[in-house]
Each structure stands twice: as C-alpha cells, then as structure tokens.
Amino acid sequence: MFSDELEKISWDDTTRKILSKTDADVRRALNREHCDVEDFMALISPAAAPYLETMAKLSRKYTQERFGNTISMFVPLYLTNSCTNGCVYCGFHASNPMKRTILTEEEMVNEYKAIKKLAPFENLLLVTGENPAKAGVPYLARALDLAKPYFSNLKIEVMPLSTEEYEELTHHGMNGVICFQETYNRANYKIYHPRGMKSNFEWRVNGFDRMGQAGVHSIGMGVLIGLEDWRTDVTMMAYHLRYLQKHYWKTKYSVNFPRMRPSENGGFQPNVVMSDRELAQLTFAMRIFDHDVDISYSTRESAEFRDHMATLGVTTMSAESKTEPGGYYSYPQTLEQFHVSDERTAMEVWKALQRLGREPVWKDWDASFDVPNKK
C-alpha cells in the first residue's frame, strides 16, 4: 500500500531538496526524455522559474504528440451536499447548519436530461459529500444505473470505498474514480480533516490502491492547493503516481491541481496562494514528467487562463459546472461547494476551444469498454 512507501519519504527533506535545486538540475531535467521525481522537483522549483517559456514549448510538444489537439469535455453533477466530515475549508462540513439535499431518483433523471440540453456531454462525473448511510454504495449504484442511458462515460468523486465496493460499482457502469488526497502532509492532515471518515489519512491515501485492485479504468488524483507547501505536496503526488503506474499499469491516470477558492462558510483562508504563473509551471512540469497523464482543469480557473493552458498541456476540462446538488434543474439557487470562476456556457467554452485550434471531444469512451481491467 502506498502509505508504507510514504513512510519512507520525509516531508521536510523533500521541501529542502526542492528548494536546493539548481539551474543545472533544471537544465538536466529539460534534456531528459524520461524524467524521474528528482527531475520533477527541479522543474517545479524556484530555479525553474526563468525557464517557463522553454517548459511551455516542451509541454506543448509532448501534449501534441500524445493527445493531438483534443480536449476531453466533462460535466460534474453534485448528487448531495450531505456530509459527515468536518473539512475546515469546505462549506458542506457537517457542523454547518445548512439545508441538505440528497437528490431523489426522479431529480437525478431531471438533472441528466437538463445537462444533455446544455451540450452533448457524454462524460459525467457524479459527486457527493461523504455520507455512507444516506448516499452510500446502493445509492451510487442507482445513480449510475439511471445515468447510463444518457452518458457513455461515468466517473464518481465520492468517499473512498473498499475494493469490493469499487468492483461492485464497475458493474453499474462506473469506469473512473476521482479522489483528492487534499494534502500528503500526514502530520497536519488532521488539522484540516478533524472528524468523520476523512480524518483517517491511511484509509484515504490507500484508496487509490483499492481502486487499482478493483480494476477501475481511470483514476484521478489531486492535492488541494492552499493547505500546505504546494511544491512538496505535488512532489508526494508525483511519487504516488509513479507507484500506482508501476502496480496498476493497465489504469489510465489523471491529475488535477485545484486552487482553493472561497467557500461559503466564510472562515478558512488558504495558507498558501499559488499564482497563475506557478500553476502554469506546475502544469508544464507535470507534462514533461509524464507525457501520458491527463491533466484536468476545472471551472475553478478563469476562462482566460483555461483557454491559454488548453494549448499548452491541459487535456481535460469541465464546463458550465454547478457545484450545488441539483444545480442544473432541481435546485439552482442552493449553496455551492465553491464558486466557479469560468462562468461561460459549455457551448461558449466549446467555441472558444475551437477558435484556439483545439478539438473539444464530448465522447471518448464507449459503453462496450465497460469491463473492469483484469489484474
């Protein structure tokens, strides 16, 4: 399990290593066809900042070689904001005395139909807070069953599950799982996740192994930028990615670097702020480190920045996202998990990408592929 590997990697030593990377380290990394995590550290280090243009060109080249001009489009649907956890940075935390919504089956179908009217989306991401009693595996299985007639590619972003539960959901058409570790800083993890299932660091970080063991086709990972030193956190994620690729090599991987945005609980302010330039550097570094990984940008990022990065390394994008349950049809006015920044419609995003010479793709999966990876 990855938690055993992580034990061997010191957070503080990693931070020191990144900060001590030199100009020569960066140049060496830029000249290597296959980078290791040491090279990745050099590319995200302050020493690489003057090489942003070179990194952008290299990132564009590798992306073009592997993905052509395509950008895979997806849309998230929040099924519930009911949650038993207490993440200090999220407005859905259990102590917030807000109204909770759990979509009924009829409401789910109304949402699916409403989404299909926005654009020809085929990639749907079902999102929930973490409430296994009220929105557990049977509920998710039903949501997947009902979504299947409308979408060819179904992913979930829900609480970490057991291997058997992931396996069970693959039989209901689920072919991808996204989970954010939020931070790999084990010492501070509990400060941000003081209660509920999510307070168990090991259970969360080893969830990715369980997805791999269950034969999930696509695994998405990410850290929440704003909690801990981002350079160290994404380096831990790079170690994690390499570990997963080695153990579950049939699986496709995606990464995401969500920057914290104000939630409506009014309290938590990010501990670290990442500039656009730094996010660009990280994106290029990830592409140079891994030519095949999907890099996903959500509507947390501005329209202008997303358009720019769509030509330089990003391969997957959400559009017209609502971050409240039932936001497309049933409850358009309820509390959002976070404010989106890119408020364009899906078709406006599509047109903008086309103008940039990209090929936005709505469907890149077929239901006939829905057989779990054999281990």
Binding-site size, ligand SF4 (CB under 6 A): 9
109 token code pair? 């179908």
Q: Which of residues 159-218 bind ligand SF4 (CB under 6 A)?
A: 198
* Closest CB 86 distance from ligand SF4, rounded Å: 7
* Closest CB 92 distance from ligand SF4, rounded Å: 4
Under rule CB under 6 A, residue 158 binds ligand SF4: no
- Identity of the residue, 76 or 360, whose beta carbon is nearer to ligand SF4 in the bound complex: 76
CA–CA separation, 18 vs 134, rounded Å?
Answer: 43
170 token code pair? 């693959």
Query: Using an 8 Å Cβ cutoff, are 22 and 6 in contact?
Result: no
Across the chain, which distance is largest between two alpha carbons, in Å?
A: 60
* Closest CB 81 distance from ligand SF4, rounded Å: 7
Q: Which of 256, 228, 226, 231 shows the shortest CA–CA distance to 241? A: 256
* Closest CB 182 distance from ligand SF4, rounded Å: 8
Binding mask 104-143 for ligand SF4 (x = CB under 6 A): -------------------------xx-------------
Element of type H or E holding 179 = strand 174-182
Q: Which residue among 6, 26, 44, 83 contacts ligand SF4 (CB under 6 A)?
A: 83
Q: Which of residues 1-60 bind ligand SF4 (CB under 6 A)?
A: none
Query: Of all residues in the chain, what percent are helix, strand and coil, respectively (each to 5)?
Result: 45, 15, 45
* Contact range with ligand SF4 by CB under 6 A, out of 83-91, 202-210, 227-235, 280-288: 83-91
- Identity of the residue, 90 or 143, whose beta carbon is nearer to ligand SF4 in the bound complex: 90
The total number of residues written for the chain in this structure:
375
Query: Using an 8 Å Cβ cutoff, are 37 and 235 in contact?
Result: yes
* Closest CB 312 distance from ligand SF4, rounded Å: 29
Q: Which of 252, 254, 253, 300 shows the shortest CA–CA distance to 279? A: 300
- Identity of the residue, 150 or 180, whose beta carbon is nearer to ligand SF4 in the bound complex: 180
Q: What burial class does residue 106 get, using C-beta atoms within 10 Å of its C-beta: 0-12 exposed, 13-18 middle, 19+ buried?
A: exposed
Q: Which of residues 276-315 bind ligand SF4 (CB under 6 A)?
A: none
* Closest CB 171 distance from ligand SF4, rounded Å: 25
Q: Which residue among 90, 108, 124, 282 contacts ligand SF4 (CB under 6 A)?
A: 90
Under rule CB under 6 A, residue 85 binds ligand SF4: yes
Q: Which of 91, 207, 95, 100 shows the shortest CA–CA distance to 159? A: 207
- Identity of the residue, 224 or 309, whose beta carbon is nearer to ligand SF4 in the bound complex: 224
Residue type at 44 in one-letter notation: I
Per the listing, tokens 């990194």 go with 55
* Contact range with ligand SF4 by CB under 6 A, out of 34-42, 60-68, 84-92, 169-177: 84-92
Neighbours of 161 (CB within 10 A): 22
Under rule CB under 6 A, residue 93 binds ligand SF4: yes
Residue type at 132 in one-letter notation: P
Q: Which residue among 2, 11, 51, 92 contacts ligand SF4 (CB under 6 A)?
A: 92
Query: Using an 8 Å Cβ cutoff, are 214 and 167 in contact?
Result: yes
Q: By CB under 6 A, name the binding residues for ligand SF4.
A: 83, 85, 87, 90, 92-93, 129-130, 198
